[in-house]
Structure 1
Amino acid sequence: MVSNTSPSDPFSASTSTAASGKDTSLTPEDELGTPGRQAERSKPQSGYKNACSTCRKRKIKCDGDNPSCGRCQRMKLDCAYEESRKKSGPRRGYVRGLQERLAQAEELLKSQGTTGPGGNIDVDAATITSDFSNPLRDFGLESSFTDPDDFVFNSTEIDVQALQTSSPLDMFPQSTQDNQTTSFLTEDFSWAMIELGVQEPLPPQDTIDELTQTYFAKVHPTAPIIHKYHFLASRPPISLRYALWALAATITPKYASLHPHFHHRARKYAEIDETSGRQNYINIRHAQAWILIGLYEFKMMLFPNAWLTTGRATRLTQLLGLHRLDGLGVEVKQTLPKETDVGKMEERRRTFWQAFCMDRYAGVGTGWPLIIDERDISTHLPCSEEAFEQNTPGPGISLPEALNPPNAPLLSSFAGIVVIASLTGRILHHLQRSSPPNSSSDTTTNPFWNTHHEINTSLLALSRSLPRHLHLPSRSPNTIFLHMSLHSATICLHQALLFKLSPHFNPSLVHESRARCLAAGMEIARIMKMVAHMDLSLLNIYTPFSIYLSIRIFALLLQTPSSSPSPLSPEASIEDSKATMHFLLSALLALKEANPLAESYLIQLDLEGVGMAALQANVLCADSDSRVEELGRGLVSQFSLFSFLRVLLL
């Protein structure tokens, strides 16, 4: 049988072969072709699968010949091949990671009920540059600490070239409007970040770690309102973090130029929280943020802002019900949910009492009314630092109970400062509300004398009944300030009495009050000599006030006419008093480097004509007198925080 199939038809040939039962598998020659064909196919693959450097740079086709491609040979150019070339395109899993982050951001926005200007959120992952790391993590929305002692965030470090600048100020771009965006974000994504509550990148991670560590090492001991472990293990609001960093930067020379920017951002984000949802500011962290902002403003002599910020923080603690945490009865309203954790409950108490102390010191400094009425307080005083850090309950005593001498051993250093702040507030009320006594008034029945003796007795009882753990010398900054504020309150009380008394009053009472003032001033000087070797940045922010009062007392007593009875004892000669005043002036000047608030007192002393000779001889240049005088007049013309006490002490 003859086949009609043409030999040149491959389909028919294979069919006939299969029909005949022969082997139909292909040989190697069939797969690769002839030897010449095989060599032709292997020619381009001469070990270099990529174009030469010259052709690649000019983006033209290259035949890949080795050692020189055809084009380089014709053009007589140097031809070289890269042995290895980095893969182009994003790294493995990068796009998937961006999609996951984008989904998290959209989910978070939906949970907050926020939408874009057009009603929808349209964020394209392709518009995000490869150098932009997790935005939620970088802006503090997902950051948390693993180990409280290491101060290390779980978040990836910010890998943005804009942050890696030579100047510290360049790391923090200014933002003058709420809709200003960073240079590495697209418009849509920037809007999304603003809705999330952030408008610029956080500082570099090493800056965050160093400032946080500095705060808990140097600032926290004098204002122990934040539980270290709870803070590091949580996601605190950005306003609190900036306020914390601002205070730490004031005592860190490396970042001294950054604290105004941190303060500005702390206020900005705190105000943004108050204009957003209720959950953003009806919480303990928001109150702590305003307290730290107020402390910063006092320290930096921003007195009008400090007064208003203190009132804001105080009212917020009352809104949260922190002044009645341990009260009973139906009249006690609780704004915050009930807290079972001992440490977090103590943190609420300490936040209120810090605001209470700021209210008292601000009132004494300005003479303006106090905000908190002690009769409304039912919150226990702060426990010891050890109990606070270890989450163990304290003794739980109230403010009236603390004034009872048998309960003095239960006081912590912070609680002692609260008690003295309370007595200082009573002194202010005593000056403002009591009628001045006349020479014929009975010192046992007159309301003025009754209040005076009551406060004086409380101060004496407290100084005599302080427990051993609150004695000096001590390394605790709050214990040091406890003693200084105790003597400052004594000076305020008796100097106010001298101001109120008529010139013809009982000379023995006048002499006794002057002696009490001098003794308190000498104790303040003794304490300053005791702590002269310490790091002055560890001292309480209000320490310059005590030094100022002591200097004024020595100046007034040295100006006492020789015909008047002098309170100076034989061992406290005039020369010794001058030397003590000289030392206090030097201490106040040295403290100015760590606490700018001291400069306001130096200016005040200059305006009053006290100690200028000592300042000129030791600490001021000849041409600086006019600068100090000009600065002092400017401060007084705008706002003098201590004008009220200045009137009393003149």
Structure 2
Amino acid sequence: MSTPRQQPGLACEECRKKKLRCDRRRPQCNQCEDSGTACYVNEIRSPRGPKKGHLKALRNRIATLESIINCDQLNPKGIPGQGEGCLQIEEITQVLSPPQEYLLTSTMSEVSTISNSFDDSPILPTTPPDQEKEISDMIEADLDQLYFDRVHPIAPMLHQARYFFWSHRCNKADSHICLQLAMWAMAAAASAHLQHMRESLYRRARAKLEALDNDIEAASAASLQAAQAWLLVTHYEFRYMGYRRAWLTAGRAFRIIQLAKLHEIDRLNDVGITIALPEIWAEAEEKRRTYWLAYCLDRFLNITDEWPLSLHEEALCTYLPASEAEFQHGRPAVTTFLYDAIEDSGNKMLPTFAETIVLTTLCWHSVTFHRITPDTETSPNLSSIFWKRHARLYQMVQQRLMLLSLPASSPELHDPMRLFTNMLANSAVLWFHNIIEALHADLDDQMLLVPLYSAYEVVSLAKPLVRSSFFKAHPFSPMLLYLSAKFLKSHPDSASGSEDKQRRLEELKKALRVLQGGNNLAMNYLDLLESEHSDKLCSLSPLGGSVIPDVQQSEPPFFFDMMNLF
């Protein structure tokens, strides 16, 4: 007896999407295992064929049209109320309208299509004109795929299999709906053919989040999904709106994260139990990544004016994130704490997201140390201690840079987070060197070689940034390009000449021009570099004063002046 052609069971969603033959192997089929994607099987499928009431609605419309035609033939002059079988306007409207049970089960796009097919008929609108239209299943699937392809690499906090598990539920919690709308808004913003949907999705996500805040006593108002949704809304506002609004929105996410105590989840949880159960570990890892994404965002947003942080390091008891492969495939792994990773600099390379966290922390510590710099004349001992600590931090940055260094042609740099991490490591060298110059320390030409080389490396790393889609670029990449451009303008290399320097500056401007299509920050940096008085503009505050205007007003340029920050 021949074996059946089709294997028993259901095919996974990834094979169905790619139209591949799934071998039904569990927990992961061969296709998903080879491609490194999550293998998810949807056990609940909607029945095929027309939806309930669809055929009935079409029959009613046909009968109504026949009555209208008969009425026209018997009443050629168009006098109302004459002729047998003629229907009044109210009767026509009632018959042409789809039945109530059909309206409840069909999407708004389908109702609109049926209604518009009879433009000459006096059909009343089935929904208010200001009500948002529902999204088709195909568009939803496209938005989900776009999110994990283009948004997740720069905001790696969601577990893909966990998301698809709850996203297909009929009755989702309000916090889950908020998160899904925020994801779709970011995904639409990262797509050329769905750009028209991003503003509508953003408004819906923010409106539902604000409605969720009105019932702050509800558990969903302070859930993990609510914090994740506010973080994505912050990223959207930072890219496409204004710094003030994004900064205030970030505060909501930070407060929910503090309320949920995500900064100490590894003190409250039993590590042994977490490691033994992959599902529990994946949930805990998603919480860690949510906290660390907010942690980095807090430092990047506040570093311009040295504002106080919302997420501090004193009570921090959360492991650094594991690698992306371990996270998505649910392979439990124990990482290290932040300060242990900093002290171990130069010995072991961390996962990409963890490296970004460490480098961001080192850069912020440089700001903190500069803020408390003692006077060399009144406190010579404290000044000596300060310089030793600064030198130690500078050494850690250089050690991490040696581990991360890759040529610009390396395929590993196709990962947007890895590319940003390498740019951040080189920019951190420039950052620490600027502190030394700002404190009027004695520098020789040899000490300038290391930061000058790092500036050239950022120029080289800008090339793969230009070649790839600007949708995948990290939102803070323009900050690092601007830092390198300012360093090159203020530190010309006498050996390379002015033509070589100008060529490198043009390459940085070219990268900013590519990024400005999806990042307002890149456009502001580009205006600064092309301005004749950019040196004078660098001393201005991005807020332009203490009064925060209405968010609908035009925003002044927002920029990080790294060269004159210290």
Common topology (TM > 0.5): yes
> Helix, strand or coil for the counterpart of 1:281?
helix
Give the distance between the partners of 2:556 and 2:534, measured in 1 at CA. Answer: 21
Establish whether residue 133 from structure 1 lines up as the match of residue 104 from structure 2: yes
Matched residue, 1:551? 485
Matched residue, 1:595? 519
Establish whether residue 290 from structure 1 lines up as the match of residue 207 from structure 2: no
Establish whether residue 160 from structure 1 lines up as the match of residue 121 from structure 2: no
Give the distance between the partners of 1:353 and 1:386, measured in 2 at CA. Answer: 18
Matched residue, 1:193? none
The answer to which structure, 1 or 2, has the higher relative contact order (CA under 8 A, 6+ apart) is: 2
Matched residue, 1:642? 559
Give the distance between the partners of 1:446 and 1:492, measured in 2 at CA. Answer: 20
Pairing 1:125-524 to 2, within 5 Å after superposition: 129=100, 131-134=102-105, 159-161=110-112, 184=126, 200-234=132-166, 235=172, 237-276=176-215, 277-327=217-267, 341-405=280-344, 409=348, 411-435=350-374, 437=376, 446-466=384-404, 472-474=410-412, 475-501=414-440, 505-508=441-444, 511=445, 514-524=448-458
> Helix, strand or coil for the counterpart of 1:446?
helix
Q: Is the 8 A contact 2:405 2:422 kept in 1?
A: no
AA in 2 matched with 1:516: V
- 1:373-407 Cα distance to aligned partner (Å, 9 max, x none): 21211100110111011111123211012113378
Aligned-pair distance for 1:542? Answer: 0.9
AA in 2 matched with 1:522: Y
Establish whether residue 57 from structure 1 lines up as the match of residue 70 from structure 2: yes
Q: Is the 8 A contact 1:367 1:644 kept in 2?
A: no
Aligned-pair distance for 1:222? Answer: 1.2
Q: Is the 8 A contact 1:360 1:424 kept in 2?
A: no
Give the distance between the partners of 2:405 and 2:68, measured in 1 at CA. Answer: 86
Give the distance between the partners of 2:115 and 2:146, measured in 1 at CA. Answer: 22
Aligned-pair distance for 1:243? Answer: 1.4
- 1:569-625 Cα distance to aligned partner (Å, 9 max, x none): 63x3332122111111111112212333210111232446459xxxxxxxxxxxxxx
Q: Is the 8 A contact 1:488 1:520 kept in 2?
A: yes
Q: Is the 8 A contact 1:237 1:286 kept in 2?
A: yes
AA in 1 matched with 2:252: R
Matched residue, 1:15? none
Computed over aligned residues only, the root mean square deviation of the Cα atoms, in angstroms, reads 4.3
CA 1:415–1:54: 2 relative to 1, 3 Å: closer
Give the distance between the partners of 1:291 and 1:578, measured in 2 at CA. Answer: 38
Mark the runs of 5 or more structure 1 residues left unpaired by the alignment.
1-49, 62-78, 80-88, 91-125, 139-155, 167-181, 191-197, 331-337, 559-567, 612-628
Aligned-pair distance for 1:535? Answer: 2.2
- 1:5-30 Cα distance to aligned partner (Å, 9 max, x none): xxxxxxxxxxxxxxxxxxxxxxxxxx
Q: Is the 8 A contact 1:239 1:289 kept in 2?
A: yes
CA 1:636–1:208: 2 relative to 1, 3 Å: farther
CA 1:386–1:507: 2 relative to 1, 3 Å: closer
Q: TM-score, normalised by structure 1?
A: 0.62
Aligned-pair distance for 1:229? Answer: 1.3
Aligned-pair distance for 1:162? Answer: 7.2
Q: Is the 8 A contact 1:383 1:396 kept in 2?
A: yes
Pairing 1:43-122 to 2, within 5 Å after superposition: 57-58=70-71
Give the distance between the partners of 1:646 and 1:445, measured in 2 at CA. Answer: 22
CA 1:55–1:231: 2 relative to 1, 3 Å: closer
> Helix, strand or coil for the counterpart of 2:193?
helix
Q: Is the 8 A contact 1:303 1:639 kept in 2?
A: no
**Greater Cα offset, 601-610 or 420-429:** 601-610
Give the distance between the partners of 1:427 and 1:530, measured in 2 at CA. Answer: 29
Mark the runs of 5 or more structure 2 residues left unpaired by the alignment.
1-62, 75-83, 85-93, 118-123, 167-171, 271-276, 546-554
- 1:506-558 Cα distance to aligned partner (Å, 9 max, x none): 243xx455433322211101111244322232121111111111111111123
> Helix, strand or coil for the counterpart of 1:347?
helix
Give the distance between the partners of 2:179 and 2:284, measured in 1 at CA. Answer: 19
Give the distance between the partners of 2:258 and 2:102, measured in 1 at CA. Answer: 46
CA 1:130–1:497: 2 relative to 1, 3 Å: same
CA 1:609–1:466: 2 relative to 1, 3 Å: same
Q: Is the 8 A contact 1:484 1:524 kept in 2?
A: yes
Give the distance between the partners of 1:409 and 1:472, measured in 2 at CA. Answer: 20
CA 1:241–1:451: 2 relative to 1, 3 Å: same
Give the distance between the partners of 1:339 and 1:320, measured in 2 at CA. Answer: 22
CA 1:431–1:297: 2 relative to 1, 3 Å: farther
Q: Is the 8 A contact 2:182 2:201 kept in 1?
A: yes
Match of 1:542 among 452, 476, 484: 476
AA in 1 matched with 2:527: I
AA in 2 matched with 1:598: A
**Percent of pairs identical after alignment?**
25
Give the distance between the partners of 1:268 and 1:238, measured in 2 at CA. Answer: 11
Aligned-pair distance for 1:437? Answer: 4.6
Computing the radius of gyration from Cα coordinates, the structure with the larger value is: 1
- 1:121-158 Cα distance to aligned partner (Å, 9 max, x none): xxxxx997455233xxx8xxxxxxxxxxxxxxxxx785
> Helix, strand or coil for the counterpart of 1:237?
helix
> Helix, strand or coil for the counterpart of 2:467?
coil
CA 1:292–1:270: 2 relative to 1, 3 Å: same
CA 1:265–1:425: 2 relative to 1, 3 Å: same
CA 1:583–1:402: 2 relative to 1, 3 Å: same
AA in 2 matched with 1:499: A
AA in 2 matched with 1:411: L
Give the distance between the partners of 2:406 and 2:527, measured in 1 at CA. Answer: 38
Give the distance between the partners of 1:527 and 1:634, measured in 2 at CA. Answer: 27
Q: Is the 8 A contact 1:239 1:266 kept in 2?
A: yes
Give the distance between the partners of 1:441 and 1:574, measured in 2 at CA. Answer: 41
Give the distance between the partners of 2:491 and 2:68, measured in 1 at CA. Answer: 92
Give the distance between the partners of 1:396 and 1:549, measured in 2 at CA. Answer: 32
Q: Is the 8 A contact 1:494 1:516 kept in 2?
A: no
